[in-house]
Structure 1
Amino acid sequence: MRNYSIALIPGDGIGVDVIREGKKVLDTACEIDGGISIQYEQFDWSCEYYLKHGKMMPDNGLEILKNFDSIYLGAVGYPGVPDHVSLWGLLLPIRRQFQQYINIRPVKLLRGIKSPLANRGVEDLDFIVIRENNEGEYSSIGGRMYEGTNMDMAIQNSVFTRHGVERVLRYAFNLANQQGKRKRLTAATKSNGINHTMPFWDEYVQKINKEFPDVKTDIIHIDALCAFFVTKPDVFDVVVASNLFGDILTDLGAAIIGGLGIAPSANINPEKKFPSMFEPVHGSAPDIAGKGIANPTAAIWCASMMLEHFGENKLAKAIMEALQDVLEEGRIVTPDLGGNATTEEFGEQVCRRLRENYG
């Protein structure tokens, strides 16, 4: 029996709704496989927790999480709690302390979903963005001075280290070399306007490229790259970017495959010294929380990515096939996809199809 332990953090809003369905799909996968056992422990760390305790998680939260095989996160954020509080109080400490320096966001159009890009199908939209997840533009170095006066000022510094840049680039090059359909890597830059960190980034792209002579490499300015995501997405294979640029590109990537509600993400510690974390890209959407209309596609996709991280590739693929079968059939889908099914009905239909397909 292959045993895995997962920390469930449903979070706020629809995070609770969609993680419930993702767990249901994971449990069905274990049931039909027969060789997997998953132990869960659920934590109520969220904005609601913050309003009660003045913190997003307990002081020993990271110590509690470190021995799990994986973390399955819903979404955090709620009116009354500033976004920088919820982000820096839970998500970013987990990413950094557990060295989840690789953020993986597939830009893949699923069967049954129509892209907002005209005349683009599943064969055109299928690539991966690798985002540096621990440093770059999201480094918490800087500060405020003279607040409340006419000299009010703020400084935010970006941090790019050789260690941090090399490891994300090497991961992306390896991915392009081993799994890429075209063996092509595209690196985002802005070295014509950001004259220290971006030339540094470009220099290491060229350096690591020498280790992978079979990988065709392009270095493209972020503004042009955003345009190319829309005008010629079919040319991409693996895209690698710094923290901020990767964040922007992946939200655009989510938009062209049907919206933020569809897209998954994985925060990976490749060495598996610490747990990795899997979370939908979408937010907590408090306006529809508890109404049973949230689309759990991203959460279910995250469950598949989690199994793949565990090496359970057959089950991971089976979940994605079942999910796409349900989407393509279009009978039991949520309102955002033109249906009238509830979140729970959608999740149950994916479980039914998983049993049918796997049997």
Structure 2
Amino acid sequence: MKTYEIAVIPGDGIGNEVVPAALQVLRTLADVHGGLNFKFTSFPWNCDYYMANGKMMPDDGIDILKGFQAVFLGAIGDPKRVPDHISLWGLLIKIRREFEQSINIRPAAYFKGLESPLKHTKNFDLMVVRENSEGEYSEIGGRIHKGEDQLAIQNAIFSRRATERAMDYAFKLAQSRRGHVTSATKSNGIVHTMPFWDEVFEDVSKKYPDVQTAAYHIDALSAFFVTRPEIFDVVVSSNLFGDILSELGAAIMGSIGIAPAANINTKGNYPSMFEPVHGSAPDIYGRGIANPIAQIWTAKMMLDHFGDTDIAQKLLDILQDVTAEGVKTPDIGGRATTQEVTEAICNKLKDLA
């Protein structure tokens, strides 16, 4: 029997509702599968922790997390009490950077039982591979002067190593899917980093002659996500472009409340981290109506990362079956509670036995 030791950080807001739901599903899955076992250790690191301690996590938090095979995160943020740049950089981005989680992957697919805002939706199934360590989210820059002379500088950093790493990941992923990689660029307007991005993409593509390629400027690519998302397989992008495209991907699915994400350490020397795309949603926290599907789909991606792809796919199929049967939370047109959706998923998992 395989035992996975998982660090669990429910975080803020609805993270404290959807993470327990996902853990219930994973425990049920382990009971049904027989060959899986999970050992969960929960950590109360969030904005409450910050208010009490002046920091989002303890000084040895990273050292503590190193001993786990994965980090399972709910949501971070309580902007009325803690500014987002403090909460995110003090926990989420800190973990991403110190654990060298250089790749962020986010799927978007036609989801049974979910009404897409697109009028004529064809089946689409795409994966955004986002460079997750540098690019436009570099910390290099600063401000000088005051008043009307005030100046802010933010430097975008693109290294060949990190760019190649993201592109290699995208091409290898495409080889296991439909064999096509699209590059998100803007070399007609951003004169240094994006031509460099294009050059690296061309170089990397030569190593994968079995994979077809395309490149679109980010403005046109965003439009194509809406008008013809079915043409895309794997889309590789910089940090900022990938962030925007993956949110758009969630929107064309019909709700950000079902969108998952994974932050991958490609070397295996530190744990990867799995989190839903949605935030802490303080406006609905405590009402029992948060959609648990994103967190559970995130758990599916964690299983894929561990190599348990067959049972992971069965879990995703069940998520879609439950939604298609109308067991849905209010954000996607239903009346079910968080727990009712979770119970419906667990019951279908038990049927597998």
Give the TM-score, by structure 1 length: 0.96
Who is 1:246 aligned against?
A: 242
Which letter does structure 2 place at the counterpart of 1:128? M
Structure 1 segments, 4+ long, off by >3 Å, are none
Counterpart of 1:278 in structure 2 is 274
Q: 2:191 is paired with a residue of what secondary structure? A: coil
Equivalents in 2 of 1:273, 1:56: separation in Å?
A: 24
Aligned residue number for residue 32 of structure 1:
32
Shift of 1:314: 2.0
Q: 1:179 aligns with which of 173, 176, 181?
A: 176
Deviation at 1:110, TM superposition (A): 1.5
Q: Deviations over 1:96-145 (max 9, x none)?
A: 11111111100112111111101214x2x211110000110001011112
Q: Which amino acid aligns with 1:258?
A: G
Alpha-carbon deviation of 1:317? 1.3
Q: Deviations over 1:21-65 (max 9, x none)?
A: 111110011011112121111011111111111111111111110
Q: Which residue of 2 aligns with 1:264?
A: 260
Match of 2:128 in 1: 129
Answer whether contact 2:3 2:36 (CA < 8 A) is retained. yes
In 1: Cα distance, 2:328 partner to 2:217 partner = 38
Correspondences of 1:220-231 after superposition (within 5 Å): 220-231=216-227
SS at match of 1:294: coil
Counterpart pick for 2:332 among 308, 312, 337? 337
Q: Is 1:2 the counterpart of 2:2 in the alignment?
A: yes
Shift of residue 315, structure 1, vs aligned partner: 1.7
Aligned counterparts of 1:266 and 1:8: Cα–Cα separation in 2 = 14
Report the counterpart of residue 169 of structure 1 in structure 2: 167
d(CA) in 1 for partners of 2:257 and 2:110? Answer: 13
* C-alpha separation in 2, matches of 1:175 and 1:319: 20
Q: Which of 324, 327, 331 is residue 323 of structure 2 equivalent to? A: 327
Distance 1:117 1:338 in 2: 16
Deviation at 1:159, TM superposition (A): 0.6
Write out aligned runs for 1:55-66 (5 A): 55-66=55-66
Which residue of structure 2 lines up, in the alignment, with residue 151 of structure 1?
Answer: 149
What are the equivalent positions in structure 2 for 1:61-210 lying under 5 Å apart?
A: 61-78=61-78, 79-121=80-122, 123=123, 125-147=124-146, 149-176=147-174, 178-181=175-178, 183-210=179-206
C-alpha separation between the residues in 1 aligned to 2:331 and 2:148?
A: 47
What is the deviation of 1:242?
0.2
Q: Does 1:211 align with 2:207?
A: yes
The AA in structure 1 aligned to 2:117 is P
Name the CA distance, whole Å, in 1 between partners of 2:51 and 2:237. Answer: 35
Distance in 2 separating the partners of 1:252 and 1:259: 10
**Letter of the structure 2 residue corresponding to residue 92 of structure 1:** I
Deviation string, structure 1 residues 179-231 (Cα, Å, up to 9, x no partner): 222x1110001111111111111000000011111211111100000001011
C-alpha displacement at 1:350, in angstroms? 0.4
Q: Which residue in 2 is equivalent to 1:350?
A: 345
Matching residue's letter, 1:342: T
Q: Distance in 1 between matches of 2:93 and 2:11?
A: 14
Runs of 5+ consecutive residues of structure 2 not aligned to the other structure: none
In 2, Cα distance between equivalents of 1:141 and 1:242: 16
2:131 and 2:239 in contact (8 A); partners too: yes
1:12-51 mapped onto 2 (5 Å cutoff): 12-51=12-51
Q: Report if the CA contact (8 A) 2:254-2:332 is conserved.
A: no
Separation in structure 1 between the aligned mates of residue 155 and residue 324 of structure 2, nearest angstrom: 46
- State the Cα distance separating 1:270 from its structure 2 match: 2.2
The SS at the match of 2:290 is: coil
Measure the CA separation in 2 of the matches of 1:32 and 1:158.
48
AA in 2 matched with 1:25: V
Paired residue type of 1:277:
M
Percent identical among aligned pairs is: 56
* CA distance in 2 between partners of 1:337 and 1:96 (Å): 34
Q: What root-mean-square deviation, in Å, do the aligned CA atoms of Structure 1 and Structure 2 show?
A: 1.0
For the 8 Å contact 2:129–2:234, the answer to whether it is kept is yes
Amino acid paired to 2:248? L
Question: 3-state SS of the aligned residue for 1:278?
Answer: strand
Question: TM-score, normalization: structure 2?
Answer: 0.98
SS of corresponding position for 2:139: strand
Unpaired stretches in structure 1, ≥5 consecutive residues: none
